[in-house]
Amino acid sequence: MASRYDRAITVFSPDGHLFQVEYAQEAVKKGSTAVGIRGANIVVLGVEKKSVAKLQDERTVRKICALDDHVCMAFAGLTADARVVINRARVECQSHKLTVEDPVTVEYITRFIATLKQKYTQSNGRRPFGISALIVGFDDDGIPRLYQTDPSGTYHAWKANAIGRSAKTVREFLEKNYTEDAIASDNEAIKLAIKALLEVVQSGGKNIELAVIRRNQALKMFSAKEVELHVTEIEKEKEEAEKKKSKKSV
Amino acid sequence: MAATFFGEVVKAPCRAGTEDEEEEDEGRRETPEDRDVRQQLARKREVRLLRRQTKTSLEVSLLEKYSCSKFIIAIGNNAVAFLSSFVMNSGVWEEVGCAKLWNEWCRTTDTIHLSSTEAFCVFYHLKSNPSVFLCQCSCYVAEDQQYQWLEKVFGSCPRKNMQITILTCRHVTDYKTSESTGSLPSPFLKALKTQNFKDPACCPLLEQPNIVHDLPAAVLSYCQVWKIPAILYLCYTDVMKLDLITVEAFKPILSTRSLKGLVKNIPQSTELLKKLMTTNEIQSNIYT
């Protein structure tokens, strides 16, 4: 009987569902995976790069976007919806800086994006935004933050999370492997993000894009070579761990 | 008829039948033109089984021509990719025929010339054991064509001493459960078997009120009626296009009796699967 209650966004079904919002969450699953990790002194965003058509300019297919110097986000879902949300968020960041003379806190801009998304779940004639976002950054107090928003307009702080296709698999990996040791150093946090993505990325390191923000530093996008270096390191560690296991069993 | 809140008029379902009897009378009078059109359409939608090399039709149904002890059918691109990489890679398979059909879901309009990349439903048998058959079906078989497909493949009086295994996928949103779909461990496998299938399934059975649709349902119903042991492995996934994790969800079937002895080199098969994924990626800019 879902068909009677999913035509207009403003209609609840008898059992309390807003079907358009739930369908929007399905649209998010069609986007490639993005993972966010909050380390002790670093925040990492890793995404599965979509393969670009031969004649397409790779720079224009970006899943990780800076909202301000100290905040950036990765999204999964409808590309056009993401562009609209990102533009609004960027304008809001600058407007806030001009009005209050302080850069936005990560929580503020996340709340702004979440409120925007919620408005579209309660307006007649509009559909929700079909994107989930992972927003990372450092506040003035030097504390690293990671937030996740979804099409319903909710937002929560996370230590580590994943969105998009196979997000559940990645989240389960993170639940098992996110330990205080694993995020002790910046390098370890970066490796954890790559390892989480390698669980679901279909063609290995060359399809992974990574961005980090360190305390008091600007956003850094990793080049393909740098990602490859980390992937090779991870593969070496895996081999060594397997050798040790086989030695022990012998 | 009922009016909704927004003023649109919706036809309320009525068990008493249609209210307009005049329309029915007019419909019964069929002109020769109508008959012609109907026959043309029926010919266009006919399911043909033929040998691709010679382009000749098979005179009898496939399983009447060859004796069969095991028949594995893959329906849908993920199931087809699984059999291609794990089963077809582990032995020498010879093509014995293909089913050619057209319906509104087909992307090609040319029903006469079938290129090797477009073959919809291809049948193979194992060279070392010709009673083991495999079907790779990557097209949609419409409701009116399913029975024709069954007849052309199984014949009108099928033998009972064969075992059928069907593999297919379905979107997880079709899975009816009291849990929310967000908490389901997709992709996951469910099985449905006929009464005569005595072996255990390698995964939980499909619970009510879930039902099976399309060609897999047609094959399973046919096998139930003719008392042939058959089992359907249904993978519920949230990625219907070709996807590595969905295909790997079929792996538990490799240990069952249905596929025993047919799979040799699993690591090599996984590599082949990865290659298949990269060559089949379709470009779309809507979702990132």
Count, in order, helices (H) and strands (E) of chain A.
7, 10
- Lowest mean per-residue pLDDT among A7-11, A64-68, A93-97, B71-75: A7-11
Instruction: Please list every residue in chain A whose beta carbon sits closer than 8 Å to the beta carbon of residue B283.
Output: 51, 53
**pLDDT 10s digits, B89-136:** 888 899 888 888 888 877 655 555 544 445 578 999 999 988 899 999
pLDDT for A69: 93
ipTM for this model: 0.82
Identify which of B185, B244, B281 has the shortest CB distance to residue A51: B281
Cα B249 to Cα A139, B122, B167, B199, distances in angstroms: 42, 23, 11, 20
Write out the E strands in chain B. Answer: 2-3, 9-10, 48-51, 56-57, 70-75, 93-100, 121-126, 129-137, 163-171, 188-193, 230-237
Name residue, tokens 């042939």.
Answer: B228
- Would you call A51 and B283 a contact, using CB atoms and an 8 Å cutoff? yes
Higher pLDDT, B19 or A167: A167
**Domain ranges across chain B:** 36-283
Burial grade of A201 (CB within 10 A; 0-12, 13-18, 19 or more):
buried
**pLDDT 10s digits, B211-268:** 999 999 999 999 999 999 999 999 999 888 888 888 989 999 988 888 888 888 777 8
Task: Identify any residues that bridge with B171 across adjacent strands, giving them in sequence order.
Answer: B237
pLDDT for B165: 95
- Would you call B288 and A165 a contact, using CB atoms and an 8 Å cutoff? no
Asked whether the predicted pLDDT for residue B193 surpasses 90, the reply is yes
Cα B199 to Cα A179, A181, B165, B256, distances in angstroms: 43, 47, 12, 9
Asked whether the predicted pLDDT for residue B45 surpasses 90, the reply is no
For residues B220 and A99, give the distance between their C-alpha atoms in angstroms, rounded to a whole number.
Answer: 68
pLDDT for A55: 85
Report which secondary-structure segment, H or E, holds A154: none
Identify which of B239, B281, B286 has the shortest CB distance to residue A78: B286
In B, residues 181-210, which contact A (CB 8 Å cutoff)?
182, 185-186
CB of A13 less than 8 A from some CB of B: no
Query: How long a stretch of residues is chain A?
Result: 250
Query: How long a stretch of residues is chain B?
Result: 288
Asked whether the predicted pLDDT for residue B200 surpasses 50, the reply is yes
Instruction: Please list every residue in chain B whose beta carbon sits closer than 8 Å to the beta carbon of residue A30.
Output: 239, 287
pLDDT for B243: 82
CB of A63 less than 8 A from some CB of B: yes
Q: Which CATH architecture has domain B36-283?
A: 3-Layer(aba) Sandwich (3.40)
Distance from CA of B216 to the nearest CA of A (A): 25
Identify which of A25, A63, A169 has the shortest CB distance to residue B288: A63
In the sheet that B230-237 helps form, which strands lie side by side, from edge to edge?
Answer: B56-57, B48-51, B93-100, B121-126, B129-137, B70-75, B163-171, B230-237, B188-193
CA dihedral in degrees (B146, B260, B79, A172; nearest 10)? 140
Asked whether the predicted pLDDT for residue A2 surpasses 60, the reply is no
Identify which of A8, A79, A200 has the shortest CB distance to residue B6: A8
Chain A and chain B share a number of CB contacts under 8 A equal to: 51
Distance from CA of A78 to the nearest CA of B (A): 5
Q: 3-state DSSP call for residue B50?
A: strand
For residues A104 and A137, give the distance between their C-alpha atoms in angstroms, rounded to a whole number.
Answer: 10
For residues B224 and B227, give the distance between their C-alpha atoms in angstroms, rounded to a whole number.
Answer: 5
pTM strictly above 0.80:
no
- Would you call A79 and B281 a contact, using CB atoms and an 8 Å cutoff? no
Cα A71 to Cα A192, A223, B19, distances in angstroms: 21, 20, 64
**Residue B214 CB: number of other CB atoms within 10 A?**
16
Nearest CA in chain B to A77: B287
Instruction: Please list every residue in chain A whose beta carbon sits closer than 8 Å to the beta carbon of residue B185.
Output: 168
Q: How far apart are the first and last CA of chain A?
A: 60
In the sheet that A220-221 helps form, which strands lie side by side, from edge to edge?
Answer: A160-163, A34-38, A42-48, A208-214, A220-221
For residues B167 and B74, give the distance between their C-alpha atoms in angstroms, rounded to a whole number.
Answer: 5
**pLDDT 10s digits, A149-195:** 999 999 999 999 999 988 988 999 999 999 998 888 999 999 999 99
Residue A200 CA, chain-centre distance (Å), reads: 15
Count, in order, helices (H) and strands (E) of chain B.
8, 11
Distance from CA of B128 to the nearest CA of A (A): 34
pLDDT for B25: 54
Percent of chain A with pLDDT over 90: 68
CB of A75 less than 8 A from some CB of B: yes
Where does the pLDDT of residue B179 fall: very low under 50, low under 70, confident under 90, or very high at 90 and above?
Answer: confident
For residues A242 and B277, give the distance between their C-alpha atoms in angstroms, rounded to a whole number.
Answer: 27
Q: Which of B194, B70, B102, B88 is nearest to B136 (CA)?
A: B88
Asked whether the predicted pLDDT for residue B1 surpasses 90, the reply is no
For residues B177 and A12, give the distance between their C-alpha atoms in angstroms, rounded to a whole number.
Answer: 20
CB of B217 less than 8 A from some CB of A: no
Distance from CA of B214 to the nearest CA of A (A): 21
- Would you call A200 and B238 a contact, using CB atoms and an 8 Å cutoff? no
Nearest CA in chain B to A51: B283
CB of B105 less than 8 A from some CB of A: no
Asked whether the predicted pLDDT for residue B172 surpasses 60, the reply is yes
Question: What are the phi and psi torsion angles at B194 (to 5°)?
Answer: -80, 165
- Report all structural domains of chain A as residue ranges with CATH numbers, in order of start: 19-48+56-242 (3.60.20.10)
CB of A177 less than 8 A from some CB of B: no
Residue B16 CA, chain-centre distance (Å), reads: 35
Cα B214 to Cα A12, A20, B93, B168, distances in angstroms: 32, 27, 27, 10
pLDDT for A1: 45
Nearest CA in chain A to B12: A4
Is residue A17 a contact partner of residue A121, using CB atoms and an 8 Å limit? no
Which of A10-19, A209-218, B7-16 is modeled with the greatest confidence? A209-218
